[in-house]
Chains A and B, each alone.
Chain A
């Protein structure tokens, strides 16, 4: 119950008591009392004067001396009565004045009270607070006009009725228990928020302050309610919005965070807590969070944050979390730098759990690697004869040399010098055969993404050694224009070999129908103006059909009857993964040119 209301109630009661007593005092009039006294005194003096005069005129002529005495006495008594009249009149006036003063003060007091009561009544009736006075059974004893109007009722419609009338069914028990609580704790103020229903059925939210008091010997509950519907709606809207946001964060696995650099304090959203696997708290220390980061990423993350903090710059980074159960989560965080009120750096950002995406990426990567591997093995299958030839050549040399060596040794005397030289040749050729096998094995192996610094020309030469036979069969002459002073590239040797192999085989196949001109394949390496390494494979074959140019690198697009349409698509993704670009163009003359670029430093490779 509001103190205002309590005070108001008391004042009202007091005002009523004062008014009653004043009404009782007003019955006799002071004015009539005063004139009666005056008239009594005046008439007594006049009566005395008249008796004396009559006695003088009508009585026996007195002796000169007694007569004179009598006359003097008459005069004296007249004078005395006049003085007395004067005195009495003054006293009366004084008394009247006092009485009048007292009367006007009373009138003012009454007036003031009346005014005050009107004011209080005005306050009570129209103060934008709903006042209810209910008895212990919940019957409305009093309600202000505003309160009734707010609920769409007139005061008379509510008086004497159960206060439950203004509560919707689902709130009635709450309303009852609220009143009960007040009655149990007399004199204590309780407050709550509750929904009420208007006469027209619409609802409004109110905040109620209530207090049970004992008035005139019985318990009543004084209730003041304030309409909080708007606030409640705003609150609800905010809560809804927060709920949506939380839901959206949950759905997108994205949490938000704020970081005050100075205090190292993080403010997190629910989802952020969920991602990091911490219990919800108003704030959390950055140092605590850092401990959850995978030890291998911790240093890097700390450095990123430190750098961004000192520079006041935005940052974005990905890292892993090592959860208490030993599982790994991949997250990506982006943050925007701001200045707080004191000029310190503050970050606002979002952190996304990208574990599922990472896993999908990894699976995709694996699938691509498997496909690339299948494609490599297929290509090697096509090259089987060529590879056999490459192994067979040194093998033939080894066998022949070994036989020769035996003959040198069987001579009488043995020619050891020749034999020794022959053994050297055997070792050299044996190694050469081994290298070919290794190269093939590398291409067949599933191991990928073993990046190392390498010379692109070496990679090309290794591939060329595998396709010699193919070139021969198809009577293709190969021209190598390899720039000798190229910088190293960081790349996966096998993957690059696959790309070059694919381009070379494509070139050879494209020249198969050519009969009217020499079949020449040119492989060129150089550096472009941006220092990127450029590898060009140019054929003089059938060229590119204009309608196919756009789809060349699409998966499953092929112009070959037996082709799977994966070769160029895989090549493009391999080169893309190395930070380069694979493109194709028609030659000015016959044939087509395939070209790919590779960055010379690791930057640019993802």
Chain B
């Protein structure tokens, strides 16, 4: 994928929110653009999925408004393709009448909302606001996670092993027995881990481990 969200450099979003619209119908496209502009939202419109993929996505909370019936590549297929490319952007589908099976599929695939054309402007704006909020949150979470990953990366393999066992609730003595180290050595590792990860307490470290997806299994797997 050519367009990936730029890696976050800080916890805060660097740019204002953007609404992306993909619809093959220029009238609908322009009308939506007009609506979002009238409420002061930044909007970018595209005639096809392909055009959208050519676009360098900004580092901003955003959402994608997609007609479920797009020429060549359908909205649903495009949704799947974005997921495959690890682009996570809330999608609001616009549907015509009688597209219920497709709508169900879209929702199952993680669409945040769907609106039937013609839609009420407030419904659209509400959906967009919610989607942007969701994106903002997930971006924040993603940033936290990526910082944790960065911290986690500074741990030595042995420290990572110890961290997994600690967060799984084992006592130092148990850990020492598990991996064949002296209890004092485990204690030292534990201190390093707490410092490197910036964890204030054990529950704090456990939460981090959960976010990082580190469990006892990963700790034991290395034995």
List A residues at the B interface (Cβ < 8 Å).
385, 388-389, 392-401, 403-405, 407-408, 411, 415, 418, 421-422, 425, 428-429, 432, 469, 472-473, 475, 477
Q: Is the CB of B25 within 8 A of A400?
A: no
Q: Is the CB of A394 within 8 A of B27?
A: yes
Tell me, rounded to whole Å, the shortest Cβ–Cβ distance linking A549 to chain B.
Answer: 33
Which single member of A389, A428, A472 contacts B27 (CB below 8 Å)? A428
Q: Is the CB of A408 within 8 A of B38?
A: yes
Chain A CB within 8 A of B30 CB: yes
Number of interface residues of B (CB under 8 A): 26
Q: Is the CB of A396 within 8 A of B119?
A: yes
Q: Which of B70-121 contact A (CB under 8 A)?
A: 71-72, 74, 94, 96-98, 117-121
Q: Is the CB of B69 within 8 A of A398?
A: no
Q: Using Cβ atoms and an 8 Å threshold, which residues of chain A touch B96?
A: 385, 388-389, 392
In the assembly, what is the distance between CA of A401 and CA of B31, in Å? 5
Q: Using Cβ atoms and an 8 Å threshold, which residues of chain A touch B28?
A: 393, 396-397, 400
24 A/B residue pairs, CB under 8 Å, sorted by A: A385-B96, A389-B96, A392-B96, A393-B27, A393-B117, A394-B27, A396-B31, A396-B94, A399-B118, A400-B28, A400-B121, A403-B120, A403-B122, A407-B35, A407-B39, A407-B121, A415-B38, A418-B37, A418-B38, A428-B27, A472-B71, A475-B74, A477-B71, A477-B72
List B residues at the A interface (Cβ < 8 Å).
25, 27-28, 30-32, 34-35, 37-39, 69, 71-72, 74, 94, 96-98, 117-122, 124
In the assembly, what is the distance between CA of A395 and CA of B96, in Å? 11
Q: Is the CB of B119 within 8 A of A400?
A: yes
In the assembly, what is the distance between CA of A418 and CA of B35, in Å? 11
The residue on A at minimum CB distance from B34 is A404
Q: Is the CB of B34 within 8 A of A422?
A: yes
A-B interface pairs (CB < 8 A), number: 89
In the assembly, what is the distance between CA of A52 and CA of B77, in Å? 193
In the assembly, what is the distance between CA of A422 and CA of B35, in Å? 9
Tell me, rounded to whole Å, the shortest Cβ–Cβ distance linking A480 to chain B.
Answer: 13
Q: A388-B97, A407-B121 are in contact. Are A400 and B35 (CB under 8 A)?
A: yes
In the assembly, what is the distance between CA of A422 and CA of B96, in Å? 23
In the assembly, what is the distance between CA of A415 and CA of B38, in Å? 9
Tell me, rounded to whole Å, the shortest Cβ–Cβ distance linking A285 to chain B.
Answer: 70
Q: A400-B31, A404-B31 are in contact. Are A392 and B117 (CB under 8 A)?
A: yes
In the assembly, what is the distance between CA of A399 and CA of B116, in Å? 12
Interface centre among B32, B38, B94, B122 (most CB of A within 10 A): B38
Q: Is the CB of A385 within 8 A of B39?
A: no
Interface centre among A389, A393, A469 (most CB of B within 10 A): A393
In the assembly, what is the distance between CA of A202 and CA of B69, in Å? 99
Tell me, rounded to whole Å, the shortest Cβ–Cβ distance linking A357 to chain B.
Answer: 49
Q: A393-B117, A399-B119 are in contact. Are A432 and B27 (CB under 8 A)?
A: yes
Q: Is the CB of B69 within 8 A of A469?
A: yes
Interface centre among B25, B34, B74, B122 (most CB of A within 10 A): B34
The 3 closest A-B pairs by CB, nearest first: A403-B121, A397-B27, A396-B117
In the assembly, what is the distance between CA of A392 and CA of B23, in Å? 13
The residue on B at minimum CB distance from A477 is B72
In the assembly, what is the distance between CA of A469 and CA of B25, in Å? 12
Tell me, rounded to whole Å, the shortest Cβ–Cβ distance linking A421 to chain B.
Answer: 8
Q: Is the CB of A404 within 8 A of B38?
A: yes
Tell me, rounded to whole Å, the shortest Cβ–Cβ distance linking A232 to chain B.
Answer: 89
Q: A392-B97, A418-B37, A422-B34 are in contact. List 12 more A-B contacts (CB 8 A).
A: A393-B25, A393-B27, A394-B27, A396-B28, A396-B31, A396-B118, A400-B121, A404-B121, A407-B35, A428-B27, A472-B71, A477-B71
In the assembly, what is the distance between CA of A388 and CA of B30, in Å? 20
Q: Using Cβ atoms and an 8 Å threshold, which residues of chain B touch A393?
A: 25, 27-28, 117
Tell me, rounded to whole Å, the shortest Cβ–Cβ distance linking A29 to chain B.
Answer: 150
Q: A385-B98, A418-B34 are in contact. Are A395 and B118 (CB under 8 A)?
A: yes
In the assembly, what is the distance between CA of A428 and CA of B25, in Å? 13
In the assembly, what is the distance between CA of A110 and CA of B79, in Å? 146
In the assembly, what is the distance between CA of A385 and CA of B31, in Å? 23
Q: Using Cβ atoms and an 8 Å threshold, which residues of chain B touch A428?
A: 27
In the assembly, what is the distance between CA of A395 and CA of B35, in Å? 15
Q: Is the CB of A425 within 8 A of B117?
A: no
Which single member of B30, B39, B74, B97 contacts A397 (CB below 8 Å)? B30
Q: A400-B118, A403-B121 are in contact. Are A429 and B31 (CB under 8 A)?
A: yes
Q: Is the CB of B34 within 8 A of A400?
A: yes
Q: Is the CB of B38 within 8 A of A407?
A: yes
Which single member of B32, B34, B38, B118 contacts A392 (CB below 8 Å)? B118
Q: Using Cβ atoms and an 8 Å threshold, which residues of chain B touch A398?
A: 31, 118
In the assembly, what is the distance between CA of A424 and CA of B122, in Å? 22
The residue on B at minimum CB distance from A469 is B69
Q: A388-B96, A407-B39 are in contact. Are A401 and B34 (CB under 8 A)?
A: yes
In the assembly, what is the distance between CA of A154 and CA of B117, in Å? 118
Q: Using Cβ atoms and an 8 Å threshold, which residues of chain A touch B71?
A: 472, 477
The residue on B at minimum CB distance from A402 is B121
Q: Using Cβ atoms and an 8 Å threshold, which residues of chain A touch B27?
A: 393-394, 397, 425, 428-429, 432
The residue on B at minimum CB distance from A393 is B25
In the assembly, what is the distance between CA of A388 and CA of B97, in Å? 8
Q: Is the CB of A400 within 8 A of B97?
A: no
In the assembly, what is the distance between CA of A411 and CA of B39, in Å? 9
Tell me, rounded to whole Å, the shortest Cβ–Cβ distance linking B123 to chain A.
Answer: 10
Interface centre among B30, B37, B120, B124 (most CB of A within 10 A): B30
Interface centre among B27, B32, B39, B71 (most CB of A within 10 A): B27
Q: Is the CB of A397 within 8 A of B31?
A: yes
In the assembly, what is the distance between CA of A475 and CA of B94, in Å? 19
Which single member of A396, A429, A472 contacts B69 (CB below 8 Å)? A472
In the assembly, what is the distance between CA of A143 and CA of B103, in Å? 121
Q: Using Cβ atoms and an 8 Å threshold, which residues of chain B touch A407?
A: 35, 38-39, 121
In the assembly, what is the distance between CA of A137 and CA of B45, in Å? 127
Q: Using Cβ atoms and an 8 Å threshold, which residues of chain A touch B121?
A: 399-400, 403-404, 407
Q: Is the CB of A400 within 8 A of B124?
A: yes
In the assembly, what is the distance between CA of A254 and CA of B28, in Å? 67
In the assembly, what is the distance between CA of A396 and CA of B31, in Å? 8
In the assembly, what is the distance between CA of A400 and CA of B30, in Å? 9
Q: Is the CB of A425 within 8 A of B118?
A: no
The residue on A at minimum CB distance from B122 is A403
The residue on A at minimum CB distance from B71 is A472
Tell me, rounded to whole Å, the shortest Cβ–Cβ distance linking B24 to chain A.
Answer: 9
Q: Using Cβ atoms and an 8 Å threshold, which residues of chain B touch A392?
A: 96-97, 117-118
Q: Using Cβ atoms and an 8 Å threshold, which residues of chain B touch A399?
A: 118-121
Q: Using Cβ atoms and an 8 Å threshold, which residues of chain B touch A473?
A: 69
Q: Using Cβ atoms and an 8 Å threshold, which residues of chain A touch B97?
A: 385, 388, 392
Tell me, rounded to whole Å, the shortest Cβ–Cβ distance linking B156 to chain A.
Answer: 53
Tell me, rounded to whole Å, the shortest Cβ–Cβ distance linking B128 to chain A.
Answer: 12
Q: Using Cβ atoms and an 8 Å threshold, which residues of chain A touch B120?
A: 399, 403
